[in-house]
Structures are given as C-alpha cells and as structure tokens.
Amino acid sequence: MVNQETGRTDVSRKVSRRRFLGATGATGVALGIAGCVGGDDSDGGDEIDPEADIEEDVTIELTMDGDFADAQGAIREALSNAGLDENITVDILPGDFETGARRSDFTAALDANRSSPDIFMMDSGWTIPFIVREQVLNLEEALTSDTLDYAKSDYLPATISTASHPETGNLYGLPLFPDYPVMQYRRDLVEEAGYNPGEDNWATEPISWQEFAEIVADVWEYHGQDAYNYGFTTQGDNYEGTSCCTFNEMMTSFGGAYFGDHENLFGPVGERPITVDDEAVVETIQVMRSFMYGPDADDAHPDYPQISTSDLVEFTEEPSREPFTAGNAIFHRNWPYSVRINDEEYGDDFDIMPMPYGVEEGEGNFSGTGGTNSALGGWHLTVNPNSDNPSAAVQVLEAFANESVMNTLFKEGGWLPPDPSVTEAADESVAGSMAQYLDTMAVAGENTVPRPVTVVWPDQSPLISGEIHAAYTGDKTADSAMSDLVGQLEDAEQV
C-alpha cells in the first residue's frame, strides 16, 4: 500500500522529490521528440507564482469527463488533503465524451481568448498542436521545481512526451492519467472449452495473433455462434480510435509503422519516411478482414480464421463493449474503464490478458516494432493562459501531482496513476477489483505505443482512418488503400 504521508502534502512549501516516492524509476519506453514547428516560450509562465497565498475565495473551473464530475466531492477532498489552498474551490465541468468534439470546443474557447475554463483536460493525442500554437500555459517556469522534477523523472515517459513542446522539450501539460488497452475475455467460457489461462500464464505472457485467433475461433465454435454473436469485438469505425489506437497497436505488433522507425513518431514533419504501404501494414488490414469476413473472403489473410463479423467496422468503444457486457461476445479489446464494468458484471468468470503480437519484439521491419503493443491513450491537464486566476490554476495542478490524489482517482474511477510506481504499489483498498489485474496492466504499460502526434496529426488521422476503413469494408484493397494513403500523408507533411 502506498504511504499516504508521502507526496506533496503542502503546496505552499517546497518538498524533496523523495517525499513523493518511496521507490525510484518508471516503467515504459522513453521517447525522444524531434523538432517540427517552433515557437518561443514567452507566454508569461515566469509571472505565475505556484506558491502565492490566495487571500480571497477563488473558483477554478476544470473541464473534464462526466465521471470526474460525478466524483467531484472525493476529488475536492483529496486535493485539499494534498495541500491545496482552502480559498481555492475546484469546480469540475463535464465535457463532451467524444474526444474530437471536445477538441473542437477547446479550440473555439482558446481561439476566442476566453478566460473560462481555467484548466482543460486534453487528450494526449492532440495536446501538442495546442502547445505549438502557444495556446496553453508553459509549465516549465510555472510549476515548482519539485513538481516539475517529479513529473519528468517518474511519470510514464511516453505521457510526458505527448505533453511537451516538440522542439524545446518544455512541459505544457501535466499528465492526469495514462490509458492503455488490454484484451478482456470470459474466463468461464474459455475454460469450459478446454483452455487453462492460469496454467498458460495468459495474464503476463502475450500470445501471438495467430494463436489468439485460433483460440477464439475454437471457443466460439465450442459454445456455438447462435449463443454468442461475436467471438471477438474491437473498434474499427472510421474515427480517431482506429488510426490512433486499434490499428496503430496491431500494425506495430506486426512490425509495421506509419513513419518508419519509431524515432520518427514525433517528427520532424516533412523529413520522415511514409511507410504505410509496407508489407506489414497491408498484412494487418488483411488479418482484420479475415477476422470479420473469413479467410476465403477477398483480400483476407488466408491463415487467420473468422472470429467476428463486419459489425466491427461500425464499432467505437461503447458499441464494442456492450455486446461483451451483455453476454454476446467472448473476447473484447478495450481501455481500463471497461475492465471495471465487466469485472462487476462477471466477477470470477472474467479476466484480462496483454494484447497479442504479430511478430516477436525486435523482429519488425522498423525499430520499435514487433511484440505486444498497447496504444497509448490518456489525458493531460493544461492551463488556460487567459485564466483570470493563473496562479491558483497552477496550484491545482500542483495538488494533482500527489500520490494520495492519484490513488483517489484510481479508487473512484479506475483512472491509472501517471506515476507507474503508484499503480504497482496499489492494493485492494485503492484499486478495488482492479488489484487482481495489475500485473497484466503493468505489461501493457511497459509496451505502449503512442500515436505519431505532431502539429499535422489532426489532419493525418482522418486520412489514415478513412483509408483503413475503406480497406476494411472492401471498397478498396489493402494495397490500393495504403498506396493512396502514401500520397495523402506526403501532402499533409508539407506544412
């Protein structure tokens, strides 16, 4: 159990980083960022005082998920216990659940220089464009040195990369929680079909997509397709979740990449190779077509069995989860939020495993590919530079950088701590039913793959998902779709 006395207990005074953490080191792979779009850092960060006495009552508005608003009382108490000034009241405003709609709302607010909300909860997949446009506060000089050091030293490195300026490396967002998916399954149905997940250590030893597909097909056949509509559900709609996440992680596990070696993930824009027509990328699409239509379908991979239906091309997160929770699917890929839902539904009949792999780690066509991969999602807290109370807003971020607050978020909503050591130390009193799955979550966290977030990603993402979707549905072959995508991405790179 994490010592509740560690961490920042008083944001009005500086605290050694050792008080934040009992053990050093963070899991995950550090990712460097090459430059793309420049920009000076003269956004007034040095005028912010994170230790200023707040002499009058101040309300700081945060736009967050609706689930955070539901847990507002517990969050307020945790922030207060972490040392947030008693004159600062945190008011959580529920934002749009769909990430693209939320990005549009934030763009409108910042373009209009609105002072409200004071703090934005931004998707890690599109924070960098706001950073390079200098529309959010530079935290490099605004945060205390202790908090800045804690975040940069001990938070999951990939989350820090997506919250930093791609040229200067300065921090503009404080990671709130990372997100990485796992494969969920009905343990009772799997065991009834003759498999032993415990003996075979499915919890921490990833299996190949080939083996996974054969198991799913076998279990599905054993129980009957009339009884279960899907052997496997995931997200395959024409939306951000496909380009950033489900396809990105699967393609990476097969050894493919959008922009070659992973050192190119964050740029430099216009100078990196476009590799979406690589054989491994095309193969990923063909495997998915086999999953949906069967190995004998046009442009399907002949070596993989059918384990689902074409409904996958219409599924986002919730539509793909609902059949599993309702008892109509056997395996399901999704984010940690759904693990809690399905654990409550099935109890001991439910379990999770890391994402399968296409080729062994290191055997992919590009550096950083191969092996199990989980798409890196998650959200950051960024400060509105137009806020009427920027010092108070920064003090709220200071309070969030606290182990006890992280544990509260984990307990209340299953939001994973940005500091992996806090996750690893959590017991059942903090993690609840999630405690039994932390070993699997650790494997997923250690093998995350971020989307290639640059200033042009908001333009590239719909191009990628559009062509993948056209290939999924059979409107184009995988080869032709990826060939067309090469030219589109090359055009988008010219900024």
For residue 156, is pLDDT > 60?
yes
Q: 192-222: per-residue pLDDT in tens?
A: 999 999 999 999 999 999 999 999 999 999 9
Q: Residue 182: enclosing H or E segment and its boundaries?
A: strand 182-186
Question: Measured between alpha carbons, how far is 167 from 230 in angstroms, rounded to an integer?
Answer: 46
Segment 340-355 mean pLDDT: 96
pLDDT band for position 96 (cuts 50, 70, 90): confident
Is residue 115 classed as helix, strand or coil in its secondary structure? coil
Whole-angstrom Cα Rg for the chain: 22
Q: 456-489: per-residue pLDDT in tens?
A: 998 999 999 999 999 999 999 999 999 999 999 9
Question: Measured between alpha carbons, how far is 381 from 121 in angstroms, rounded to an integer?
Answer: 5
Question: Measured between alpha carbons, how far is 235 from 224 in angstroms, rounded to an integer?
Answer: 23
Residue span(s) of the chain under CATH 3.40.190.10 come to 17-179+377-439, 182-374+456-493
Measured between alpha carbons, how far is residue 215 from residues 200, 231, 244, 323 in Å?
13, 10, 27, 19
- Contact status, residue 75 vs residue 408, Cβ threshold 8 Å: yes
CATH superfamily of 17-179+377-439: Periplasmic binding protein-like II (3.40.190.10)
Question: Measured between alpha carbons, how far is 289 from 324 in angstroms, rounded to an integer?
Answer: 21
Which percentage of the chain shows pLDDT scores above 90? 80
Lowest mean pLDDT among 29-43, 323-337, 349-363, 441-455: 29-43
246 DSSP 8-state letter: I
Segment 66-91 mean pLDDT: 95
What's residue 35's pLDDT?
24
Among 113, 153, 63, which Cα is nearest to 379's?
A: 63
Cα torsion angle, 428, 249, 213, 443, sign: negative
pLDDT band for position 230 (cuts 50, 70, 90): very high
- Contact status, residue 372 vs residue 354, Cβ threshold 8 Å: yes
Task: Tell me the fold of 182-374+456-493.
Answer: D-Maltodextrin-Binding Protein; domain 2 (3.40.190)
Q: Residue 216: enclosing H or E segment and its boundaries?
A: helix 209-223
Reported pTM: 0.83
Segment 388-406 mean pLDDT: 97
Segment 328-343 mean pLDDT: 95
Lowest mean pLDDT among 8-22, 237-251, 272-286, 343-357: 8-22
Segment 67-74 mean pLDDT: 92
**Residues shown for the chain:** 495
Q: Which amino acid is at 296?
A: D
- Contact status, residue 147 vs residue 399, Cβ threshold 8 Å: no
Residues sharing a CB contact under 8 Å with residue 83, sequence separation 6 or more, in sequence order: 8, 9, 10, 11, 12, 398, 399, 402
Q: 275-325: per-residue pLDDT in tens?
A: 999 999 999 999 999 999 999 999 999 999 999 999 999 999 999 999 999
User: How many alpha carbons lie under 13 Å from residue 110 in its C-beta half-sphere?
Assistant: 23
For residue 107, is pLDDT > 80?
yes
